[in-house]
Amino acid sequence: MARSHSGGLDCGSVASAKDDVSGPDSEHRPTDGQEREEELSAFYGRGSRVEEEAGVSGRWADLDIVNLVLAQAEEQFTRQCSLRRRGYDLEKIAERIAEIYGINVGKVFARGRQPQRVGARSLFCFWAVRQLGNSLASLVICLGMSPAGVGYAVQRGEGIAHENGYQLIL
């Protein structure tokens, strides 16, 4: 902003807000509510040409996705409940891993970076989180690892299980 000779602000050189509004579009500007309604209409109401030809609107496609996610969550929850009813807990998972790796159950929970322990602990984390539904926080306490370490172990364990065809239940 420019200063006048008297030291104050020179307001004559600053454009007013009214000056910005003038123009060819200034006669009809939609309100914020109208803009939002037009955006939603464009997103949901009109849909793509493929959706129109298939007879699927955006809202129904969204509902299909929600129903799919809910079905997957219900399946996962049912599997977790089934395992718990069969008596699976962290100790039983550790016993299964000790059987696979031919080690003592205590070594599954022991600290160390030996490849066999890392693999056993990673598989333990994977099955405990993804199959049994335990939280990462519970494993942090159980194993004395950092939350990030447990998260990486879950990912490594998933790879180990798929690569070697390991399954929790025989």
Question: Which CATH number covers residue 157?
Answer: 1.10.1750.10
Look at residue 59 in the predicted model and tell me its pLDDT: 64
pLDDT of residue 79: 75
Q: What is the pLDDT of residue 42?
A: 61
Residue 10 in any domain: the answer is no
Count structural domains, the chain. Answer: 2
Q: What gap in Å lies between CA 70 and CA 18, rounded to an integer?
A: 52
Q: Do 81 and 91 belong to one domain?
A: no
> Chain centroid to CA 102: how far?
35
Q: Looking at the structure, do residues 145 and 95 belong to the same domain, yes or no?
A: yes
What is the 8-class DSSP label of residue 15? P
Q: What is the pLDDT of residue 126?
A: 96
One domain for residues 100 and 130: yes
Neighbours of 118 (CB within 10 A): 15
Distance CA 153, CA 161 (A): 12
CA distance 87 to 54: 48
23 vs 69, higher pLDDT: 69
User: Is 150 a domain residue?
Assistant: yes
Range of the domain at 52: 46-86
Residue 29 resides in a domain: no
Helices (H), ranges, the chain: 17-21, 32-40, 49-54, 58-85, 90-101, 105-109, 115-126, 136-143, 147-164
- How many percent of the chain have pLDDT more than 90? 41
Question: What confidence tens digit (pLDDT) does each residue in 66-110 have?
Answer: 878 887 777 777 777 776 778 888 999 999 999 999 999 999 999
Q: What pTM was computed for the model?
A: 0.58
